[in-house]
Structure formats: C-alpha cells, structure tokens
Structure 1
C-alpha cells in the first residue's frame, strides 16, 4: 500500500534524507528523486555555483519549481533540500501530494556529517558553524513540524533501520 503514495523527506542538512530516501525507494520498488540533484542535472551546474550566480533567492525559485514538478508524479520518494520548506507554496504542495516525513538530527550529528562537504553554500565562509546551524534550526524546525505526518530521529539508527520504520509507519496511516 505504501508504494502507491508519494513519500517526501524533509529535515536539516545531514539528517540522511538522500540516503534514507534511496533505502525506502529500494525497499518499496519506487522511483527516488533528490531535489538538489535534480536541480544540478537540469542546470548543468552545482548548487554552490547557482548560489554564487543567482543568490539564495534564485536557487529557491529553481527549487520550488523542481519540487512542484516532482511532487506531481505518483509513487515517488523525494528527498528535499533542507531549506525547501521556507516556501509556503512548497510546504502546501508537499502536504497535499504525499506523506511528509521529518528526519530529525542533532546539530552535533549535522556537523559531523557535513564538515567535509564543500557543496553546502549556506555553510561556506562561516567562521562559527555551530551558530549557523542553530540559526537554521531556529528558523526551520517549526516549518518542518508544521507539515510532518511522521517524525523520526535518525541519529542512533542505520539508514536501513530508519527506512524500515518509516515504511511501517506509512502502512499504518
């Protein structure tokens, strides 16, 4: 039954949205999409370059369009960018078009998982990363919580374990 519904993963960078999303799609035989990868594929440029050229606003416009298109599909698993929920239109589309799963993680885990990643423009050139993560958390957590159908902490479990738990929860909805 779960494979007929769209599953949208939201949460901060480093929560495991892409890794867990691939696991869910594989277990259910569904198509998997990552909104950031889709933007890169369509533009032929990486996210950091888009941020440099168009700023965050330009990137968010592209992100909103891509997520709108991807959420119109049926039976997909979509890992969204951490800031995609800043758009009210995107939040509304995610809520209306599928089951929204909020992957929670601590700032410590986020920092550990993203410290070597140079492809995250919101972290570049920032001398106090912890402070930056705290700002993003304060701004975004209420928006994640607003649209989540299921919330799960990802810190202490394997991606496969989290994916299995999510599938069980969806089948109960």
Structure 2
C-alpha cells in the first residue's frame, strides 16, 4: 500500500531523474532484478531486465548463448541491448553482473542514467546463487573460488557507480526504501536518514 508521501517522493524522484534511467549493477545474486522490479513499481517507471531482453533477442537462454557462441559474443550482445534500453529512458534497468565491466557500457550508463551498485558480500551471494544452476560463469569445480575472484575483479569497477547500497537478507521492500533514499540524496532531493 502506497501513501501520499510515497507518491509525492516518487513524483519528485521522477522529476529529478528527468530523462535518465536508474541502472542497477552488481554481482549475480545481489538482487538487481527483484529490487529493480519493485523499485520500478514504486516509482511508476517501466522495468527491464537486460538478461531477459538478451534471451528474447537471441531466442535462447544465457547458458545456451555461452555454450553455443561463447562469452565474448554474449558480452557484445549485452552491450548492444543495454545501449538500446538506455535510449528508451526513463526507466529502471537491471543489468547482468558483467555488464558494467565494459567501458563503453559504463560510459553509456553515465550519460543516460544513474547507476546504483547493490553491493553484497561473498557469503550472501553464495547462499543466493546456490539456489539456481543457470549461472554459466559458476559452472566450475570451485564456484565459491570463482565468485571470490569475480568479486576481486569487479568490485573496484562497481565502486565507480553513482550510488552504492548494501544488499543484505532483509525484505525486498526494505532494500527498495534504501535505494530510493540513496537516490533521493544523490539527486539532491530531501532524503533523510543514514547512508545506505
């Protein structure tokens, strides 16, 4: 149930965003898609999941794309899909874990959106990704070691996002509140409370 305050805050954030989108970045399992859907609903903005869009464009799942065409072809398609989605802003976009590692994609996001890094620790990510077996990069003999290596590689790059919010095991609506609060502060609204 939304309140008049929620509606007013959503309207103010949409005004502050203008034509820009909100792009959620972070590791697999950080909650980008689930938080993104709820955030879009709360802000009355369209939602897109880059991975879903890639699968629809390719006519196959991401694991199938990796298996048949390789990671390089996937990343090229990912870059093109994200660029197309950013042209349609404003909206909320959840990206795949490796998308933000591409310098052209980062530049496109910086030009057309506000990036939000959902930062999660290794233990949380491991608990979440173990629930699914559709993560091509984790199809190794040591998924925990692979995930730790990806964190080491990616976190310094993710740290360049405009906003950082710590992802943790709390109700998704709490995460959405914290993202809204952080965006409000970043965009110069009248957010209150501690840093997310």
**TM tier relative to shorter chain:** over 0.9
Residues 1:102 and 2:113 aligned together: no
Which 4+ runs in 1 deviate beyond 4 A? none
Q: From the CA coordinates, give the structure whose radius of gyration is larger.
A: 2
- Map 1:113-128 onto structure 2 (within 5 A): 113-124=128-139, 126-128=140-142
Relative to the length of structure 1, the TM-score reads 0.95
Give CA deviations for 1:5-37 in whole Å, capped at 9, x if unaligned: 410000000000000000100101110000000
- Matching of residues 136-147 of structure 1 within 5 Å: 136-146=150-160
Q: Higher relative contact order by CA 8 Å / sep ≥ 6: 1 or 2?
A: 1
Contact 2:165 2:182 in 1 (8 A): no
Cα offset, 1:129, TM superposition: 1.5
From 45, 49, 53, the equivalent of 1:30 is: 45
Q: Which residue of 2 aligns with 1:2?
A: 13
Other structure's SS at 2:88 match: coil
Instruction: Confirm whether residue 131 of structure 1 aligns to residue 172 of structure 2.
Output: no
CA separation in 1, counterparts of 2:87 and 2:178?
25
Residue 177 (structure 2) aligns with? 164
Deviations along 1:14-64, one digit per CA (max 9) or x if unpaired, are 000000000100101110000000001111100000000111000000000
1:39-118 equivalences under 5 Å are 39-118=54-133
Q: What is the SS of the residue equivalent to 1:9?
A: strand
Q: What is aligned with 1:19?
A: 34
Tell me the TM-score normalised to structure 2 length.
0.84
- Unaligned 5+ segments in structure 1 are none
Aligned pair count reads 171
* Structure 1 partner of 2:6: none
